[in-house]
Structure 1
Amino acid sequence: MPNNELFFLYKGRPLVRSGKTIYYGDMNAPYVVMMQIHSQKAFEDLPLSENISLQMMSTDLTLPPDKLILKKAEKQGLYQALDIASVWLDRLSRS
């Protein structure tokens, strides 16, 4: 496992953001969750994420493109998106 001290962690897994895309999970693990922020609303002077799509993806790039995505969902708000992403990854790590 890489040195996670370099990343912000949520429930022990790294969060990496690039623009409106957030990756949740360890890229060395079999799966990660990609979250794409589709809309934001203003709260005081901060943007808050509203509509977020999630995709649980395999990190095995030898798979054909149609086999890379295992699950998809749409959530309202970053907390709900992170919550379901955490559940997905927890279930896979137990199986």
Structure 2
Amino acid sequence: MAAVKKKKGLMYKGKPLLRCGNRIYYGNLEDKLILALDIVESSKKQDVDVSTKVKVQIMDNTGELGKGQVYRKCERENLYKAIDIGEWWLQDAMKMMG
């Protein structure tokens, strides 16, 4: 019997990225905290939508996905800057939780 390959989704620094509409979740879904990135504004550049305003939130992930308490939030002007600060916050918060 041939081995079944498990399809891996998009990853960033070893953690999965999951997109639901204009929201991107970053982090392991089993962890107590998760990063939520909301694309608030975008513009067209060379026929590609590019985010120009992204809301970053560190939230509780013990209940329903996307419905937890928000611990920290900010806005950044592009997705790279948003995930950069969000990943750092998430890593720091996970260390503090033990």
TM-score of the two chains, using structure 2 as the length reference: 0.82
Displacement, 1:60? 1.3
Size of the alignment, in residue pairs?
89
Displacement, 1:61? 1.7
Q: Say what the alpha-carbon RMSD is for the aligned residues.
A: 1.9
Say which structure is richer in helix.
1
CA distance in 1, matches of 2:88, 2:16: 15
Report Cα offsets for 1:1-22 as digits up to 9, x if no partner.
Answer: xxx9522011111101111110
What letter is aligned with 1:20? N
Number of the residue aligned with 1:93: 94
Q: Which runs of 5+ in 2 are unaligned?
A: 1-5
CA distance in 2, matches of 1:30, 1:7: 21
Identical columns (%): 28
Report Cα offsets for 1:48-87 as digits up to 9, x if no partner.
Answer: 011011111111129xx7x711101111100000101110
Q: Which runs of 5+ in 1 are unaligned?
A: none
* 2:75 maps to 1:74: yes
What letter is aligned with 1:73? C
TM-score of the two chains, using structure 1 as the length reference: 0.84
